[in-house]
Amino acid sequence: MSKLLTISSTAIAILLTAAAGTQPAKTSLLPDSQLTAITSEASGALAKDTIIALGHLHRVHASPGFHQAAEYIADRARDYGLEEVHIESFPADGKTTYNSFKAYLGWEPKSGVLTELGESPQVIADFSKMPVALADYSNDADVTTDLIDVGAGTSEKDYAGKDVKGRIVLAGGNVAAVHHEAVDQRGAAGVLSYQPNQVTGWSGDYPDLVRWGHLSPYNTANKFAFMISLRKARELQARLNHGEIIKLHAEVSAQMKPTNFEVVTGIIRGTDPAAGEIVYSCHLCHQKPGANDNASGAATILEDARILARLIREKKLPRPKRNIRFLWPPEIAGTMCYFARHADEVAKMVAVIHMDMVGGDPKLTHAIFHLTRTPASLPSFTNDVAAVFGSYVYDGARRAAMDGDFTNANISTEGSKEMMLADFHDFTMGSDHDVYQEGSFHVPAIYMNDWPDVFIHTNGDVPANMDATKLQRVAVIGASSGYFMASAGEAEAKILMGEVFARGGERQSQALRRAFAESDILKGLNIIKQSTEQERSALDSIKSLDPQSKTTSDRVEDLKQRLSMREAEAFMALRDIHGADAIHEGPKLLQVYKRNPKVLGGMDIYYYDYIKDHVPEAPNSAAPAPPLDGTLAYEALNLVDGKRNVSDIHHVLTGAYGPVEIKKLVDYLKLLERAGVVTLAERTSAK
């Protein structure tokens, strides 16, 4: 007895001494030794070198430029010690389907020059010097004709009283839509486009940028389009307005033809093949130079491959139990192809880290870096893994900039010392994470993305806009999050549970604030209910890291109970304020839809619109203007699971995203039914 006492008081004394003398851990999820191994190895300078190399290539889907980029990445990945590195090919032939995606053709551009004729001919656009000057999916041409201004060029009225036949139209609208109206419908020879870029706070401030444009990759009758700056377009318009005849010669050598979508892949083998896979994703495609979008993502997952492969090879990090897979596809299309061929692999994916635009120097690009959450249809622990490592990096960067404390600064030898202009952001769409998280596949993503970047999709997206320090910091968040998830078992699940529960409580409190602000108590109650349901599901998702363990499962269930107790308390607080008598629930829509298992994947796949292609053109067809679009359409389908009725889906959408007209949801689900994507399952009994 006395001996035991002696031992335990000695143990306490040791613990106290240790506690007094040590710093708090850098993060709750990885031991400092492992995190430090990662931060010491990470190099933003190497990532930037990769961006510079990729920036030489015009990397359009299924084109020779993409192929060269794929070869480059595969070579680097082999050098860096990834295993099983290879390039997979998928026919890009305008016919083959990959789940809900129908392939388009490849494109082989060789040259394209637009010259203004006259006493001293002037070159207006030249593909060999600036590839974005020729719109993607232009075809062979050799035409001499004059120029006519059609304004936006996308609607009937733009062409009133104008004879465009055989001429080149000068237009500012979406270049594919202009081609349809001017060339396909009215016999114009081609298009000269000054299509503006996506809207940001800086729209119109950079009149010399030339936008990357594309014609329809499904239209083999495409002629050609050249792209010019707004400044050049204004000059040409002024001259046309003065009655000047502008004679142009267009010479294009480019062909739409069957080629292949190519996806580069490689792997770090885990110790337990049954434990599933963690994936790193990006998109290797886009225009030259396309530095931030998306050479930066391709380069930074390559840097994570290098960091992890090296540290594991040198035994500075234990080999994780899960496989870590790396994928470099053409955006969305390539991921759809890969998923169609590797359904067994997809079923084993536990989580994905997707990087799209991660290197923009905010002083130049005005970029804000986001760690973006999963959609409401897919609550996941991944959000809190990102929160832990994101906070470590953001806070370290801030302390360096503010206090000169470089302990956790993660500064590149070739980069800035700025703090990160960065946040944690609610779900947004727009890249391959949409495929992973879609209701057919359910792979939760940590989505890392800059928005805005004022140079996106233009000739101005150059490597000089990239900050090597930012790249290094993103590489650290990526490598530490991925390594943690690849290694996690029972002990890690236990720590992560605490993070999800604690941070989930904060999110529940935020939901309660929103609920109190609602004058309609039913809306308030729904916000609390949906928020709590999200957190319960996020806790549930932790079981996928330790699926066999009853201990983990029991712990998760206990914490879910505690969330439900908080929910009950929040309900009561809301009733205290509004008065319990005020609750009158309306009628419920009890139809239950289920997915057609033969149509996996989303409806909006890069250039492909599944609904438009499958709903026959009826006079009242809703297909040209779907009742729901964007995130709401994506999520409405994701929430179809054969269990939720229409009212349940409506509640999730309104609780997470704000007001949604129920009629629009009903119409959209009917449209999906007409397209053969969902079928009516049954009616749930009224409760």
Quick one: residue 214, left, alpha or beta (phi over 0 = left, psi -120 to 50 = alpha)?
Answer: beta
Q: 3-class SS at 146?
A: strand
Question: How far is residue 117 from each of residues 55, 73, 246, 395, 403, measured CA to CA in Å?
Answer: 32, 42, 8, 59, 61
The token duo for 24 is 């708090």
Side-chain half-sphere exposure of 573, counting CA atoms within 13 A: 15
Q: Looking only at residues 603 through 632 of this chain, which bind Zn ion when binding is defined by CB under 5 A? A: none
Nearer to Zn ion, 293 or 361 (CB): 293
Write down the least CB distance from residue 358 to Zn ion, Å. 13
Q: CA quadruple 284, 608, 344, 433: dihedral positive or negative? A: positive
The token duo for 221 is 């009758």
Q: Looking only at residues 277 through 296 of this chain, which bind Zn ion when binding is defined by CB under 5 A? A: 293
Count of residues in the chain: 687
Nearer to Zn ion, 293 or 604 (CB): 293
CA dist., res. 209 & res. 457, Å (int)? 10
The token duo for 359 is 């290197």
Q: For 644, which DSSP code?
A: S
Q: Looking only at residues 360 through 419 of this chain, which bind Zn ion when binding is defined by CB under 5 A? A: none
Nearer to Zn ion, 457 or 650 (CB): 457
Decide if 567 contacts 528 (C-beta within 8 A). yes
Largest interatomic CA distance in the chain: 108
Write down the least CB distance from residue 230 to Zn ion, Å. 20
Write down the least CB distance from residue 60 to Zn ion, Å. 12
Nearer to Zn ion, 59 or 650 (CB): 59
Nearer to Zn ion, 335 or 552 (CB): 335
Write down the least CB distance from residue 214 to Zn ion, Å. 11
Interaction pattern, residues 245-284, with Zn ion; x per rule: CB under 5 A: ----------------------------------------
Write down the least CB distance from residue 161 to Zn ion, Å. 38
Write down the least CB distance from residue 136 to Zn ion, Å. 13
Quick one: residue 158, left, alpha or beta (phi over 0 = left, psi -120 to 50 = alpha)?
Answer: alpha
Nearer to Zn ion, 293 or 492 (CB): 293
CA R_g for the chain = 27
Alpha helices in 272-420 (DSSP H): 297-313, 333-341, 343-348, 362-365, 382-403
CA dist., res. 658 & res. 656, Å (int)? 6
Nearer to Zn ion, 331 or 384 (CB): 331
Nearer to Zn ion, 183 or 462 (CB): 462
Is 450 near Zn ion (CB under 5 A)?
A: no
Write down the least CB distance from residue 457 to Zn ion, Å. 6
Write down the least CB distance from residue 57 to Zn ion, Å. 15
Nearer to Zn ion, 60 or 309 (CB): 60
Side-chain half-sphere exposure of 496, counting CA atoms within 13 A: 31
Write down the least CB distance from residue 456 to Zn ion, Å. 6
| Number of residues binding to Zn ion, judged by CB under 5 A | 1
Nearer to Zn ion, 136 or 492 (CB): 136
CA dist., res. 491 & res. 321, Å (int)? 14
Write down the least CB distance from residue 287 to Zn ion, Å. 9
The token duo for 569 is 């308390």
Nearer to Zn ion, 293 or 304 (CB): 293
Interaction pattern, residues 491-520, with Zn ion; x per rule: CB under 5 A: ------------------------------
Write down the least CB distance from residue 357 to Zn ion, Å. 8
Nearer to Zn ion, 217 or 320 (CB): 217
Write down the least CB distance from residue 461 to Zn ion, Å. 9
Nearer to Zn ion, 293 or 434 (CB): 293
Q: For 119, which DSSP code?
A: S
The residue sitting closest to Zn ion, measured at its beta carbon, is 293
Q: Which residues of 360-380 are buried (b: 16+ CB within 10 A; e: fewer)?
A: bbbebbbbbbbbbbbbbbbbb
Q: 3-class SS at 660?
A: coil
CA dist., res. 596 & res. 664, Å (int)? 21
Q: For 608, phi and psi rounded to 5 degrees?
A: -105, 130
The token duo for 580 is 């319990």
Write down the least CB distance from residue 212 to Zn ion, Å. 8
Sequence-distant (≥ 6) Cβ neighbours of residue 263 within 8 angstroms:
70, 87, 88, 90, 327, 328, 329, 330, 334, 335, 337, 338
Write down the least CB distance from residue 286 to Zn ion, Å. 6
Nearer to Zn ion, 296 or 541 (CB): 296
Write down the least CB distance from residue 431 to Zn ion, Å. 8
The token duo for 301 is 């997952």
Nearer to Zn ion, 292 or 645 (CB): 292
Question: How far is residue 623 from each of residues 618, 628, 667, 675, measured CA to CA in Å?
Answer: 9, 11, 11, 10
Q: Looking only at residues 290 through 329 of this chain, which bind Zn ion when binding is defined by CB under 5 A? A: 293
Q: Which residue from 411, 417, 397, 446 is spatially nearest to 43, judged by alpha carbons?
A: 411
Nearer to Zn ion, 281 or 526 (CB): 281
CA dist., res. 187 & res. 168, Å (int)? 10
Q: Which residue from 227, 200, 37, 252 is spatially nearest to 130, judged by alpha carbons?
A: 227
Write down the least CB distance from residue 316 to Zn ion, Å. 36
CA dist., res. 682 & res. 591, Å (int)? 6
What is the binding site for Zn ion (CB under 5 A)? 293
